[in-house]
Amino acid sequence: MNISDVARDTGLPPKTIRYYEEIGLIRPMRGDNGYRVFRDSDVHKLAFLGRARTLGFSIEDCRTLLALYEDQDRASADVKQVAQDHLDKIEDKIAQLQSMQATLKHLVRECAGDNRPDCPILSDLAKG
Amino acid sequence: MNISDVARDTGLPPKTIRYYEEIGLIRPMRGDNGYRVFRDSDVHKLAFLGRARTLGFSIEDCRTLLALYEDQDRASADVKQVAQDHLDKIEDKIAQLQSMQATLKHLVRECAGDNRPDCPILSDLAKG
DNA sequence: TCTTGACCCTCCAGTGACTGGAATGCCTAT
DNA sequence: ATAGGCATTCCAGTCACTGGAGGGTCAAGA
């Protein structure tokens, strides 16, 4: 398989696939013409990576998860730890965004949004 | 005022303050020794920027908001538009994170987290 | 006066995870 | 032979800082 076939099948852009090779997540073979040749195992890994990225795991987490996936002797506890840590980070992020959301909603509601210059949004930013 | 005084008062690191000058958000004066000299108006602007950044506005949004703040003839509608667009983006982000959270919570709950290798988290990543 | 330590300065490189683009080469069909 | 659609590499840019090197300045104490 050539890179654009893999891109179609995995939903990852060719650029991203090349990047994943560059940082050592995959090691596709090369044909005589220098083209990458992807085996099923490469495609499988890329699909795995794509789904992990969709769940928001960092590239380093993905690397860890892939290693665990390939280690038949892994402990599920190790996988769970990675996922739990990531979940915690996501929940922190959500809380942070919800705090911004609450403030912004309030300010937007208070702002007349007309031709006059008076604006509670700017007043708030100007004086905390 | 020197940069570290301003850092203390605004909560922004000196590096960030220098960076804000570099990208033209502020224009502090210079003393004979080459040190930045911050006037009250600079400190005020930096505090404004710090609060806008806390609300998650991008640097470019901050630039726009600062310009609107300094324009006595602004329309509050323009400010409101910037804030509303930003709020929309935040809400999109929250929704996206909540979707990840839901999936991850489910997977983490399902995973035994013990010494055995069987793991629904990896199974999910491996097969969508 | 000299030294010490806490400031200040600039410039360069790195972060994360790609993405865009240039310059170039290969493959297939007409 | 040529056209187009693939493929390759390498470089630069994104965003908002952050760290560090290498060097100048200032104020206080011996």
Tell me how far apart the alpha carbons of residues B111 and B122 are, in angstroms, rounded to a whole number: 10
B4 Cβ nearer than 7 Å to chain C strand: yes
HSE toward the beta carbon, residue B2, CA cutoff 13 A? 5
**What is the maximum alpha-carbon separation in chain A?**
69
What is the reported pLDDT for B120? Answer: 97
The residue type found at B121 is I
Nearest by CB to residue A83, choosing from B75, B79, B121, is B121
Residue A128 pLDDT > 70, yes or no? no
Instruction: State pLDDT tens for residues A16-40.
Output: 999 999 999 999 999 999 999 999 9
Q: How far apart are CA B67 and CA B46, in angstroms?
A: 13
> Can you tell me the mean pLDDT for A31-58?
97
Q: For residue B47, give every residue at least 6 positions away whose Cβ sits within 8 Å of its Cβ, in sequence order, or none.
A: A128, B9, B10
Query: Per-residue confidence of chain B (128 residues) as pLDDT tens digits?
Result: 999 999 999 999 999 999 999 999 999 999 999 999 999 999 999 999 999 999 999 999 999 999 999 999 999 999 999 999 999 999 999 999 999 999 999 999 999 999 999 999 999 999 86
Q: How far apart are CA B3 and CA B12, in angstroms?
A: 10
Q: Which residue has the tokens 């915690």?
A: A88
Coil, helix or strand at residue B36: strand
CB of residue A5 closer than 7 A to nucleic acid strand D?
yes
**Cα–Cα distance between A46 and A9 in angstroms, integer?**
10
Q: From residue B125, give the alpha-carbon distance in Å to each of A85, B35, B96.
A: 17, 54, 18
Which of A69, A108, A125 lies nearest to residue B80, judging by beta carbons?
Answer: A108
Number of H helices, E strands in chain B: 6, 2
Segment (H or E) for A35:
none
CB B52 within 8 A of CB A127: no
A5 burial via Cβ count (<10 Å: 0-12, 13-18, 19+): exposed
Nucleotide D7: nearest residue by CA–C1'?
A35
Q: Which residues in chain A are contacts of B105 at CB distance < 8 A?
A: 87
* Integer Cα distance of A126 and B52 in angstroms: 9
